Amino acid sequence: MPLSRHLPLLALCLFVTADCRFPTLEHIRTSASEEAQSRAVAGLLRRLLGNRSSEFVVSVNRSLSNDSLDVCELSSSKNKILATGSSGVAVASGIYNYLKYFCNCHVSWCGRQLELPSPLPRLTGVLRINTPHRFRYYQNVCTVSYSFVWWDWHRWEEEIDWMALNGINLPLAFTGQEALWQEVYRALGLNESEIEEFFSGPAFLAWNRMANMKKFGGPLPQSWHVNQLVLQVVSTSQRYHSGTMGSFQLQLLLLLHPRPTRSTLSPDWLPLSGSSDPAYLAAISRSVFASMTAVDPDAVWLMQGWLFYSDPSFWKPAQIQALLHGVPLGRMIVLDLFAETDPVFSYTESFYGQPFIWCMLHNFGGNHGFYGTVESINSGPFKALTFPNSTMVGVGMTPEGIEQNPVIYELMSELAWRKEPVNLAKWVSLYAARRYGSMQDNLTAAWKLLFASVYNCTVPNYINHNHSPLVRRPSFRMNTGLWYDPADLVEAWKLFMEAAPSLMSKETFQYDLVDVTRQVLQVLTTHFYLDIVNAFQSKKMSELMIAGGVLIYDLLPELNRLLSSNQRFLLGSWLEQAQSMALNEKEAQLYDMNARNQVTLWGPSGEILDYANKQWGGLIEDYYAQRWVLFVQTLVESLDSGVPFNQDTFNQAVFQIEKGFIYNGRKYPTKPQGDTYEIAHRIFLKYYPQAIKKLH
């Protein structure tokens, strides 16, 4: 299937309207024709709905919006839905709104539910959907490594469709840039061996690009450069024609298109000298901006605001203002990257006049685990818009990793098209009905419980980085805290199990049943860990062996079997995707090592051990469980011999297990194993009574 067929859809995901408050941004708009955008939406609908797509008539009419903010109008004509929008993204997002709220449908990373009624429900009059936000931004500089690294075009196409349906018009576009840097370094006189010493392996390129690391996991094969450049060309070509582009693609643009109209660049950097002199900081940003405008006079600098959050001792008001004011107002857009938890705009007078995008970060490392801040994201963007002298120009989603907690991303993307906060209890009730295709009282109650507890973290400055003992190296100083009452989780689990017999044919329900059971077992692991520690410190051998035995011989194996029963929780899929990028056995081994190391040691010696932890079938069995086996055995031997437990000695021993996993050469299943309901039901019968006892 020719890649060019899909190019117009990329324009949908990158259309950016103008904002009268910042006329310097008005030139950032698509040059793709209305007809091309309409065809792209039609193609999306064919992929999504098959033959039923013919029941939608789509068109793009830029004049539909008189304030440069996206709008879509939907109406009925005979048995068809007419959808007209100011951009392709507006049309796609408007149709998804109709599919959600009139057809009870759902599309996510973690399953689809697309049982359309026939005929399509009629609309009375015209349904007008519009957004107060010019930009709907998506991705983190780390997402390309934690989630996208092994994607082929088919998976990218799915993501582009998802972006359009959810109204995204400003995603990053980092893929393939090493091919251009390679040419730059050659032009600077570096030889091939010197270049090979610099680039990291595929799984770590995000941090190589940020100058955090070099070489580890490399060298990059030339075939990698070619493959990634082809993927990016598909995207970049259309972005060139639309007049917009994902950030940090200046070099690629110049190679492919000698007369760019590109405007949004993202050079992320941090002053290395340590000088906090405001004049010095202003001079740096002026110099960077001058280098950008020397190539593109209309360039707009897209900058992450993370540095202000991560190093507040350096970035005080004078330093922040100096850096930001080194660039003319309106020629820089700041991503308030972690605004749902610690917004920067509120203590910088709205970034001292520079436009900013309010972002929800939500996830670190692509970790699994229920988490959300629904009250914060439901109110935060609206508060930011009404902040005194607000310069907010959009909302964004900036997770380090995706394909987890789909409910949070559906809520956040929908809020971009709302004028006021939603009723969360009502919203999640409708979400449950869409996700499973019908309203189920027990699942409505379950989701309300989850939204009021695990998905509503209100702990100040909390970072969602799974520190559960389950996925961390065992020690006596593990994080066991929770921000919610686990009794609510257990009750929701029971409600899911009650609904299971009639819903196992739904892929969305299968995923959620695995996920909620996984979350309960994660919490139970913490409690068995506490029992193990208490028994050891009390020198009660029998209690130590009971708690340790249940954990390592039953709970963890059952968790591994549960995860192995669902396609989206398989280590084998991650490794297969990595190896599929290879042209020969040597490349396959390199990519396999990259894939395994990233989710475990994260570095040659565990430099940020378990940062990107995942709960996958295969990984539980051969990595996490093996560490717990060694920990329990070591404690038993310590009590038996009277020799004190030594953490350093244990760390040295367990490192051999961790490193051994990376090079064990084992092939892991790429297809689900076992019956999800039977496994989940067995786990429920065994562990629900213990959960009631331990977690209430």
Q: What is the pLDDT of residues 39-78, one digit of tens each?
A: 999 999 999 999 999 999 999 999 999 888 999 999 999 9
Q: How many CB atoms lie within 10 A of CB 428?
A: 24
Q: Is the pLDDT of residue 306 over 70?
A: yes
pLDDT confidence tier of residue 691, bands split at 50, 70 and 90: very high
Q: What whole-number distance in Å separates Cα of residue 345 and Cα of residue 322? A: 15
Percent with pLDDT over 70 in the chain: 92
Average pLDDT rounded to a whole number, residues 240-262: 34
Q: Which of 23, 132, 89 is nearest to 394 (CA)?
A: 132
Q: How many CB atoms lie within 10 A of CB 125?
A: 8
pLDDT confidence tier of residue 24, bands split at 50, 70 and 90: confident
Q: Which of 166, 179, 172 is nearest to 144 (CA)?
A: 172
- pLDDT tens digits for 554-610? 999 999 999 999 999 999 999 999 999 999 999 999 999 999 999 999 999 999 999
Q: Which of 272, 274, 266 is nearest to 333 (CA)?
A: 266
Q: Which residues contact 616 (CB under 8 A, 6 or more apart)?
A: 563, 569, 570, 571, 574
Question: Is there a cis peptide before residue 355, judged by omega within 30 degrees of 0?
Answer: no
509 backbone φψ class: left, alpha, beta (φ>0; ψ -120 to 50): alpha
Residue with the bigger pLDDT between 264 and 691: it is: 691
- Displacement of CA 155 from its chain's centroid (Å): 15
Q: What whole-number distance in Å separates Cα of residue 382 and Cα of residue 475? A: 43
471 backbone φψ class: left, alpha, beta (φ>0; ψ -120 to 50): alpha
CA 287 to each of CA 246, 290, 291, 292, 581: distance values in angstroms, whole numbers, following the listed order: 22, 5, 6, 9, 39
| Residue 396 in tokens | 């964004």
Q: For the residues of 601-639, what is the DSSP string, one character each? A: TSSTT-TTTTTT----BTHIIIIIHHHHHHHHHHHHHHH
Which of 158-162, 397-401, 434-438, 471-475 comes out lowest in average pLDDT? 158-162
Q: What are the counts of helices (DSSP H) followed by strands (DSSP E) for the chain? A: 28, 13
3-state secondary structure of 39: helix
CA 179 to each of CA 175, 176, 230, 429, 645: distance values in angstroms, whole numbers, following the listed order: 10, 6, 10, 47, 50
Q: Which of 499, 529, 523, 526 is nearest to 680 (CA)?
A: 499
- What pLDDT shows up at residue 580? 98
Q: Looking at the DSSP assignment, which residues form a beta bridge with residue 71?
A: 130
Q: For the residues of 444-470, what is the DSSP string, one character each? A: HHHHHHHHHTTTB--STT-------GG
**pTM: predicted TM-score of the whole model, two decimal places:** 0.93
Q: Are strands 71-77 and 80-85 parallel, antiparallel or unpaired?
A: antiparallel
- What pLDDT shows up at residue 273? 53
Q: Are 116 and 103 in contact (CB under 8 A)?
A: yes
All domains of the chain, ordered by start, with CATH? 3-130 (3.30.379.10), 135-419 (3.20.20.80), 466-695 (1.20.120.670)
Q: Is the pLDDT of residue 548 over 80?
A: yes
Percent with pLDDT over 90 in the chain: 86
| Residue 155 in tokens | 């998976």
Q: For the residues of 209-278, what is the DSSP string, one character each? A: HTTS--STT-PPPHHHHHHHHHHHHHHHHHHHHHT---SS-HHHHHHH-SS----EE------SS----H
How close are the terminal C-alpha atoms of the chain, in Å? 55
Phi, psi of 216 (to 5 degrees): -55, 130
- What pLDDT shows up at residue 66? 83
Q: Are 39 and 8 in contact (CB under 8 A)?
A: yes
Which of 24-38, 52-66, 194-208, 679-693 comes out lowest in average pLDDT? 24-38
Q: Which of 617, 580, 603 is nearest to 659 (CA)?
A: 603
Q: What whole-number distance in Å separates Cα of residue 97 and Cα of residue 89? A: 12
Which of 63-67, 248-252, 462-466, 659-663 comes out lowest in average pLDDT? 248-252
Q: Which letter, b or e, does each residue of 239-261 get, where b requires 16 or more Cβ atoms within 10 Å of its Cβ?
A: bbbbbbbbbbbbebbeebbeebb
pLDDT confidence tier of residue 28, bands split at 50, 70 and 90: confident
- pLDDT tens digits for 471-485? 999 999 999 999 999
Phi, psi of 623 (to 5 degrees): -125, -70
Enumerate the H helices of 326-455 as residue ranges. Answer: 349-352, 374-385, 406-415, 424-436, 441-452
- What pLDDT shows up at residue 15? 35
- What pLDDT shows up at residue 243? 25
